[in-house]
Amino acid sequence: MIKDRVKLVLPLLFFLLILSAAGCEDSGKVAVQEDHDGWTLRVDGKPFMVNGMNWDYFPIGTNYEYILWDESAEFIRNALDYEMGLLQDIGVNAIRVYTGIPKEWIEYIHDNFGIYTMLNHAFGRYGLSLDGECVADTDYSDPRVIDTLLQEVTDLVREYRGTRGLLLYLLGNENNYGLFWSGAETEDIPGEDHELRIRARHMYRLFNQAAVAMKEIDPDRPVAMANGDLLFLDIIVDEAPDVDIFGANVYRGISFTYLFDQVKEEYGKPVLLTEFGADAYNTRAQQEDQHCQAYYIHGNWREIYAYAAGVGKAGNSIGGFTFQFSDGWWKYGQTFDLHVHNTEATWANAGYECDYVEGQNNMNEEWFGVMAKGPTDSLGHYELYPRAAYFVLEQVHAFDPYAAGTTPEMIEEFFEGISITDALKRAKSDKNDGNRH
């Protein structure tokens, strides 16, 4: 009798193992996939539209030197519970975070809020240390720079591979703009010249070397870059064929115009908007302007969905990361006026017609948050107050562009049904009530 039972049990166990293997075949794996509908990002084998947010944590009075991860575990947990809860409430499924976040907190965010992390290595954008000396202007042809950056990113992948909730690796942040000027403060971009194109070629060649080396260590996570718009795209095509995803910070106003089509035709890669959005300050009126911010973000997401796979256009949009979650009070002066919400505009963009005046700057770096930031309390935490854009995003992220039968007309109808006026009323009511979400 016992032998008969063993004969029955063994085939059953074998069958269950097959089922288990089939169910776990893609477990924890993230990949980009191209088919007749276009490009998609796949998480555990399923299409994943990135409804992302650029996220950081800087209390008023601090700047880039402040590091949340140096605080106590209790402090970090309280900060994450509050902010990730707010992000979860509006359907954000991924955040963009710079290196430095310990893997345990990536897993905490994912396990408790279902939010993935895109881990961003600056890749020399703000300088690096060479032979014990801080070098602000990165020369990507310097053998020491090459060795240092390749070592940094491969060490990063070895440390973070297998981390639950890790979506993908992102290299750089507008490093092509860094060829014009160093530092984090945004400026207008001058014209390019032959020497700059040579420097760019060295840089993108190193991006490609890094992507190849990183994927050899962790084949389960794609590698993306964060370019500044389409500048030097022709060089990227030549020098960076092994980067999985073309990521770009793009500020063109209400529309990305020809961006998706051009990347499809010239580079043939999926497109991830690593930054886009609008500030909430109207320079012309000299006051906060939540309506215009919500208007531009609403229009941007409409296009991100319209260019997704299967909808009928370029089919290469895999999502984006709205810039940004909360205001950065340090961004205008970097090291001074840290307790002042500065209203000086530092660059001009005619795509934002709400407050553009020819010959004048209209983009306010300290006002890009879809959340306004309140004062810091005795424990070091702060309150956040949703702007209209926050409530617009709540509706935007409820739409699934990958649902069967989605058409451009359905997307248009959905977005037409989102009322910015209603979002403004909700933002005003929420602030007046002093609600803490």
Tokens 């299409």 belong to residue: 47
Task: Specify the pLDDT at position 190.
Answer: 54
pLDDT of residue 431: 67
CB burial of residue 27 (10 Å; 0-12, 13-18, 19+): exposed
7: exposed, middle or buried (Cβ count in 10 Å: 0-12, 13-18, 19+): exposed
Q: Give the contacts of 333 (CB within 8 A, at least 6 positions apart).
A: 342
pTM given for the model: 0.91
pLDDT of the residue at 192: 65
User: 107, 173 in Cβ contact below 8 A?
Assistant: no
**What domains can you pick out in the chain, each with its CATH number?**
47-433 (3.20.20.80)
* Cβ proximity of 143 and 202 under 8 Å: no
Please, what is the angle between helix 408-416 and helix 290-306, to 10°?
160
Please report, for residues 182, 215, 415, the alpha-carbon distance to residue 138 in angstroms, rounded to integers and kept in the order given: 9, 24, 43
Predicted confidence at residue 189, as pLDDT, reads 54
CA atoms within 13 A on the CB side of 158: 7
Residues, the chain: 437
Query: Under a CB-based contact definition with an 8 Å cutoff, are residues 279 and 364 in contact?
Result: yes
List of E strands, 214-330: 223-228, 245-249, 271-276, 281-282, 287-288, 317-322
Give tens-digit pLDDT for 352-399: 999 999 999 999 999 999 999 999 999 999 999 999 999 999 999 999
State both tokens at 92. 């954000």
CA angle (168 as vertex; 231, 309 as ends), nearest 5: 70
Measure the CA–CA gap between 367 and 370, rounded to whole angstroms: 9
Residue 291 CA: distances (Å) to CA of 145, 278, 348, 351, 411? 45, 11, 20, 16, 21
Share of the chain above pLDDT 70, in %: 89
Spatial distance between the Cα atoms of 20 and 390, rounded to a whole number of angstroms: 41
Pairing outcome for strands 116-121 and 166-171: parallel
pLDDT tens-digit series, residues 124-168: 999 999 988 999 999 999 999 999 999 999 999 999 999 999 999
CA 388 to chain centroid: 20
The b/e string for 125-161 (b: 16+ C-beta within 10 A; e otherwise) is: beebeeeeeebeebebeeeebbebbbebbbebbeebb
- What's the pLDDT score for residue 193? 82
For 401, residues 6+ apart whose C-beta sits below 8 A from its C-beta are 49, 305, 308, 310, 311, 411
Interhelix angle 388-396/290-306, rounded to 10 degrees, is 20
Residue type, 308: A
Q: Is 340 exposed, middle or buried (0-12, 13-18, 19+ CB in 10 A)?
A: middle
pLDDT of 17-74, one tens digit each? 433 444 444 458 999 999 999 999 999 999 999 999 999 999 999 999 999 999 999 9
* CB neighbourhood size of 72 (10 A): 9
Measured CA to CA, the distance from residue 241 to residue 236 in angstroms comes to 8
Q: Give 195 or 245, the one with higher predicted confidence.
A: 245
Average pLDDT over the chain, rounded to an integer: 92
Q: Phi, psi at residue 256, to the nearest 5°?
A: -85, 5
